[in-house]
Amino acid sequence: MPGFEIFGEEERRAVAEVMETGVLMRYGFDAARKDRWKARQLEEMLRQRLQTPHAHACASGTAAVLSALICAGIGAGDEVIVPPFTFVADIEAVLYAGATPIFADIDETLCLNPDAVAQKITPRTKAVLLVHMCGSMGKVEEMQRLCCAHRLLLIEDVAQAIGASYHGRPLGTFGIAGCFSFDYVKTVTCGEGGAVITCDNVLYDHVQAFTDHGHAHQTLDRGVDPHRHMGLNFRISELHAAIGVAQLGKLDRMLEIQRAHKAILQDAVGDLPGLRLRGIPDPHGDSATFFSFFLPDADATRAAAKALAEAGVDGCFYWFANNWHYHTKWEHLKQFASINQLHIARLSPPLEFTDPSLPDSDALMARLLSLQIRLSWTEQQCRERAARLRAALSKVL
Ligand SMILES: *Cc1c(COP(=O)(O)O)cnc(C)c1O
């Protein structure tokens, strides 16, 4: 990944097809569009590929998460359990939905630990937002059981793991909704875009309306089509959807390349003493966008990141120190630094959000490195990289 590494004739042709009609809107304009419906086609492909009855494409992954939360009825007074290792979008979405994010520890899978989640459940808990980080899955079955037992909604954020599966079942189909992103650096990229998938007819109907100002989409004439409820404009454009269609058609090939490259890296260093691979509940289902591992302690990990940079191994992420992915860098969210007044800021916000104690997550994150897996490497380049990786890690281990 990212998918833009293998942009080609397919993406260019798809964009040209839309440009020929001049119709950039996903709804209406039936006569002018020459039967080209790119957003619909993208949704049909998502349904087939992800084995789900409903898919709705929208403007971004952030819009997908916010829409899923609101359309599942989550709002003021509700608590949503979230991981401290994710992209800020998930926390923003919970806050803008009007609900309260509650952090729980992650485990060696880099995703929410079901036992830690169980300890954070209160009478106000309404949902668990399970984020499948860095290409692979959290403990989906255990999380499903936990949510079922406590009557909580399970919402999956699959923005970083499209194409990944757990025992053959695509991620995003374990909860009431699965949220995807097609932004500029994701595996399937269309510039900006996202999608919500669900097996729930009512949720789907809410999402398709909510992302288009609440339009019921009952009639072709938008001027008389009723507004069922409030919404926003989170529509995807036909141009973006067209690129998404071309990219999604390449997903299986991308997974194949990523998995082959990751196997080369893993074979090269997997036996090094002191290196522990990230936990993957079903290794066959890994989408292999990253090769992630733990080193013995924070000092060794920082030294390794430095040694890798010096050895010219780029695309190495020490998430613990990065601005966007770990809670310790999210002061603006914890302080509700909103331009307006957020609902939750008026309440007495729980320490589980504003000042969480997450010792397991801190310990894991301080020792975690992830190497991005590129689609554009040749096998030879990947092998050379694997050798440099082994040499650099051997120095610090
Ligand atoms: C990228 C990402 C998002 C947000 O997607 P956008 O399309 O950039 O809005 C949400 N969650 C995770 C885990 C992501 O990586």
Distance CA 293, CA 277 (A): 4
Closest residue by Cα to atom 5, ligand 1, is 61
pTM of the model: 0.98
Is pLDDT at 234 greater than 80 in this prediction?
yes
pLDDT tens digits, 75-85: 999 999 999 99
Local confidence band at 323 (pLDDT 50, 70, 90 cut-offs): confident
Distance CA 262, CA 379 (A): 11
Name the E strands within the chain. Answer: 54-58, 79-82, 100-103, 125-131, 153-157, 165-166, 169-170, 177-181, 194-198, 276-277, 290-294, 316-317, 368-372
- The per-residue pLDDT of the chain, averaged, comes to 96
**Confidence (pLDDT) at 228:** 87
Distance 58 CA to ligand 1 centre (A): 13
Q: Tell me if 326 sits within 8 A of 86, measured CB to CB.
A: no
Average pLDDT over residues 139-163: 98
Classify residue 226 by its DSSP letter: P
Local confidence band at 275 (pLDDT 50, 70, 90 cut-offs): very high
What percentage of the chain reaches a pLDDT higher than 70? Answer: 100
Q: Tell me if 280 sits within 8 A of 109, measured CB to CB.
A: yes
Closest residue by Cα to atom 6, ligand 1, is 61
Question: Is the CB of 159 inside a 6 Å radius of any atom of ligand 1?
Answer: yes
Question: Is the CB of 83 inside a 6 Å radius of any atom of ligand 1?
Answer: no
pLDDT tens digits, 54-68: 999 999 999 999 999
Question: Is the CB of 175 inside a 6 Å radius of any atom of ligand 1?
Answer: no
Question: Is the CB of 86 inside a 6 Å radius of any atom of ligand 1?
Answer: yes
Q: Which atom of ligand 1 approaches the CA of 192 most closely?
A: 7
Is pLDDT at 347 greater than 90 in this prediction?
no
Sign of the torsion angle spanned by Cα atoms 95, 100, 106, 109 = negative
Task: Give the residue among 320, 345, 343, 325 at the shortest CA–CA distance from 334.
Answer: 345
**Confidence (pLDDT) at 348:** 86
Is pLDDT at 98 greater than 80 in this prediction?
yes
User: Alpha carbon 82 to chain centroid distance?
Assistant: 13
Q: Which atom of ligand 1 approaches the CA of 60 most closely?
A: 7
pLDDT tens digits, 358-381: 999 999 999 999 999 999 999 999
pLDDT tens digits, 155-181: 999 999 999 999 999 999 999 999 999
Local confidence band at 5 (pLDDT 50, 70, 90 cut-offs): very high
Is pLDDT at 225 greater than 90 in this prediction?
no
Residue 355 C-beta-side C-alpha neighbours within 13 Å: 3
DSSP 154-165: EEEE-TT-TT-E
Task: Give the residue among 317, 331, 310, 321 at the shortest CA–CA distance from 369.
Answer: 317
- Number of C-beta neighbours around residue 120 at 10 A: 19
Of 91, 183, 290, which is best to mutate to test ligand 1, by the most ligand atoms within 8 angstroms of its C-beta? Answer: 183
Distance 285 CA to ligand 1 centre (A): 20
**Confidence (pLDDT) at 340:** 93
What percentage of the chain reaches a pLDDT higher than 90? Answer: 94
Local confidence band at 218 (pLDDT 50, 70, 90 cut-offs): confident
Closest residue by Cα to atom 3, ligand 1, is 61
Is pLDDT at 220 greater than 80 in this prediction?
no
Identify the residue with better confidence: 250 or 224.
Answer: 250
